A and B are shown apart, each in its own frame.
Chain A
């Protein structure tokens, strides 16, 4: 009921103003488009709650809360344009819904990009042996669909004689490494000029300030235009409802990262945004037993990634497309 009172207050404009310019010269609360939507959903929420109270003999308290939270969740706006307060509300709502729906205790972060950080990644193709520890770690960290065996990372077995990953095979499953082959992995390259971002009709995907290209899973309508536009096969679509059992779920999550997704939305590697924004390495970097993966801040001149770009012979995939990927390959 407390929540209901708060909502009533905000709807009637009785809450304290944080920003004086929210009121016009007559002292009336200025109504922005977002404010209108907020009030409309609040009204709808109140209406739903009233209905819920009336129907309390038919559905329990938890069900009512679930319905009302799902209703609010449906009407929220694009995360990119949400205020800090709305983002906090959104993640709290999702945490509560996770508890109600599957009795999972998750913490969903809304942490913003750390200023002065631009993430970069380097991959040593002399060191990769095709063990795929990275893929397993990624799958577990990012709560990927187990049923379809969805994987963000692809490891290619390429025959010696070409550096072109198109000539490789990423469907191998035998002991590695084999003679006359080398191994290289691909995932989202987090391009500085991503071709997948301008094509989205609803602005559901964008590049954050620290260079990570993210997707707002609840805003995506599932048109798959970004999947057609990506030259690196980075994007994954949830063709069916993703299945991850609660005991295998990673509970430290980020709104733009590894939280549970619905069917019909796009997802992809986020450089483990829930980890990298806390100063940790992505799961793939941690897991690699040969040290083939390097991650760091491109704007720090002392970081390993900068040193590698400056000293080693690096290349990127499909540089001629002008996408400026932040994923370099190098050799010993």
Chain B
């Protein structure tokens, strides 16, 4: 019996080998993503040179595209692991199959989150100031400190669990349920905590009435559990259609139900927020007025938010109707629409209006620059690259395509 270290090195070698092989579509896709990543990296060097002045952010709207995407992706990461719940409730599906897909998406999304935060801060070379022991982490006072701990802990969990499961599968041994099931449950609670902490980041600021409400945390969770599984569903659809991997239909059905319920709850919460802001509008509601109707001539976000809401409603309705939800075309298109809608309303529809108007009444709009958009696309490409890689490898190991072959001793 070869020792673990030998198996591990062989594991890495096999993974690398498999990643480099694939059909034309795979290579084209990865090539496109690499190109976008390199472009993003180049633009980031430009940003490092001239400072954040090259973005569209200013002292009034001090968080823009980067943090919008960060917020949305934390939700994606948190939701990915929520797939575990149906696997547990409808226990006819093998637990670890679904877990793998979720973990792969989660790792990709988390790496994207970390990348977005890195490009957003003004002094990335001083990141070591955050490490407790060497620097000073302001825990438990600062919610950003909480977020850093929770994010990195979640990343660790999401790397350990699939590694454990896949490594054992690779070796031809069954993973021990007593080890990974508690970790999986920990990651479910951690996922909820992760997204609530991110929501508290915003909800705790008394200076920003648009965010300072109790519903922000639950709203984040609802939109995450609608958008995240929608993404995974589309991804699984692609996998089923374009690859040899076997994907159980029952998994897809159950995920679709989760997406539907979460989307419905999300709409109810949206209704609640809209009522509170507009029934008796106070000066705390000016941000919502800006978002939905614009203030004077400043209405850059109005078309975005109405698009988001319409897409949201259309998608939710489509998914609610059983016949449509079980039809492949309607199901996947609804998921794409829902994902886009939630990206808009949770990203720029949440972060930017919080800054408009400013605490002393200035209405200054935010327009991202090309550099900002380029870097954002680069980071998304990086995330999709990682997700493609991990999910593909996960499937390959899980379906025994990559297996450890003991070398015959001479």
Contact = CB atoms under 8 A, between A and B. Distances in A.
A218 B362 CA distance: 30
Given A33-B133, A221-B130, A233-B358, A238 B206 contact: no
Contacts of B120: 223
Q: Which of B51, B130, B134, B143 has the most CB of A within 10 A?
A: B51
B148 interface: yes
A133 B359 CA distance: 24
A53 interface: no
B242 interface: no
Interface in B36-64: 50-53, 55, 57-60, 62-63
B146 to A, nearest CB: 9
B59 to A, nearest CB: 6
B123 A265 contact: yes
A202 B135 contact: yes
Contacts of A77: 136
B141 A198 contact: yes
A273 B259 CA distance: 56
B355 interface: yes
Nearest to B117: A223
Interface stretch (A19-27, A164-172, A296-304): A164-172
Interface stretch (A101-109, A115-123, A224-232, A307-315): A224-232
Contacts of A237: 52, 59, 62, 122
Contacts of B137: 201-202
Nearest to B144: A201
Contacts of B143: 199
Contacts of B136: 77-78, 81, 202-203, 219
A264 B121 contact: yes
A264 B51 CA distance: 7
A221 B138 contact: no
Contacts of B354: 228
Nearest to A241: B51
A195 B206 contact: yes
A195 B62 contact: no
A148 B50 CA distance: 14
B121 A221 contact: yes
Contacts of A200: 138, 142, 144
Main secondary structure of the interface of B (DSSP, over half): loop
A156 interface: yes
A321 B360 contact: no
A289 interface: no
A239 B53 contact: yes
Interface in A186-234: 186, 195, 198-204, 218-225, 227-233
B5 interface: no
A195 B207 CA distance: 8
Contacts of B22: none
B59 A227 contact: yes
B126 interface: yes
Nearest to B359: A231
A154 B130 contact: no
Contact of A225 (B124, B134, B142): B142
A59 interface: no
A225 B198 CA distance: 13
B58 A202 contact: no
A166 B123 CA distance: 32
A264 B142 contact: no
Contacts of A202: 129-130, 135-138
B129 A198 contact: no
A37 interface: yes
A60 B107 CA distance: 48
B251 interface: no
B361 interface: yes
Contacts of A78: 129, 135-136
B119 to A, nearest CB: 11
B145 interface: yes
A81 B148 CA distance: 22
Contacts of A238: 51, 122
Contact of B361 (A167, A198, A228, A241): A167
Given A198-B138, A202-B137, A263 B129 contact: no
Given A240-B50, A240-B53, A232 B359 contact: yes
A210 B14 CA distance: 63
Contacts of A170: 360, 362
A39 to B, nearest CB: 14
B122 A232 contact: no
Given A170-B360, A198-B142, A263-B122, A37 B134 contact: yes
24 contacts: A33-B134, A78-B129, A154-B360, A165-B361, A166-B357, A168-B360, A199-B141, A200-B138, A202-B137, A203-B136, A204-B129, A220-B122, A221-B127, A222-B122, A228-B62, A228-B354, A228-B355, A231-B207, A232-B360, A237-B122, A239-B55, A239-B58, A264-B121, A265-B122
Q: Which 5 A-B pairs have the closest CB atoms?
A: A222-B122, A264-B122, A166-B361, A231-B207, A240-B53
Given A195-B207, A230-B359, A239-B52, 15 more contacts: A170-B362, A171-B362, A198-B141, A198-B142, A202-B137, A203-B136, A204-B129, A223-B122, A223-B144, A224-B62, A224-B63, A228-B207, A236-B59, A238-B51, A240-B53
